[in-house]
Amino acid sequence: MPKRTRIINDPSELVPLLQTFQSKEHKQVFNLLLEEWLTKGDIEDKMGFDATESISILKKCGLLESQWHMPKPGKMPEKEYHSSYSKVQSNFQCSFEDLSDIIILTFNKYEEISDLITELEELVEKGNHSMSSLTRAMNKNPLYIRSLARRSSKLSVMGQRLKMNEEN
C-alpha cells in the first residue's frame, strides 16, 4: 500500500516532528505502525513498553490515522492506529534567527520553557485565541508563538488562531 507524503509549509511544524524522532521509542512505534494497523495493547506487546506517550505525540504531529477495531463478540471495541505518512517534503523559508528559536524550543527541556508555555496556555484559556493579539501580549513573533504552542500538550495551532485541545 503506497504511503502519502507529509508536506510541511510552516517551520513550526518541525517542533513536534523533531521531538518525536529524537526519541528511540517514538521512532520504533512509528516504524511499527508503518507496516500494519495495531491497537495500543498490540503495540505494547510487541515493543515491551507503555505506548501512550508515543501514540499521543504521533497524533499531535498528524502522523497517525485511527479507526475502531471490531473485536470478537462480547468484547469492547478498541482504537487501532496506523502511520499515514512515509515521506516528508518541506516547503518553507525563514530566517536563521527564527530557525534557531525553533531548534531551541524543540530541544530545550520542558522545565526550561514551562513558564512560557503556561503563560501562553493561560492567555488562550482566557479567550485570547488570535495570533496577532498573542504576539502583542507575549512580545514574541508569530512563528515563536506557534512553535511554543506545538510544545504544549494542551494547545493546537489552527491557522492564525490557537485553541485548547478538547481532551483537556
pLDDT, tens digit (0-9, with 9 covering 90-100), for 39-81: 999 999 999 999 998 998 898 888 999 999 888 888 888 999 9
- Output the pTM of the full model: 0.82
Contact at 8 Å (CB) between 106 and 11? no
Counting every residue, how long is the chain? 168
pLDDT of residue 139: 95
Cell numbers that stand for 42 in this block: 498490540
Q: Answer yes or no: is pLDDT of 167 > 70.
A: no
What are the boundaries of each domain within the chain? 4-90, 96-164
Measured torsion, CA atoms of residues 44, 49, 50, 56, in degrees rounded to the nearest 10: -80
For the chain, the 3-state helix, strand and coil shares in percent, each to the nearest 5, are 50, 20, 30
Q: What is the mean pLDDT of residues 125-129?
A: 92
What tens digit of pLDDT does each residue of 80-120 get? 999 989 899 999 999 999 999 999 999 999 999 999 999 99
Q: Answer yes or no: is pLDDT of 168 > 80.
A: no
Whether domain 4-90 has CATH 1.20.840.10: no
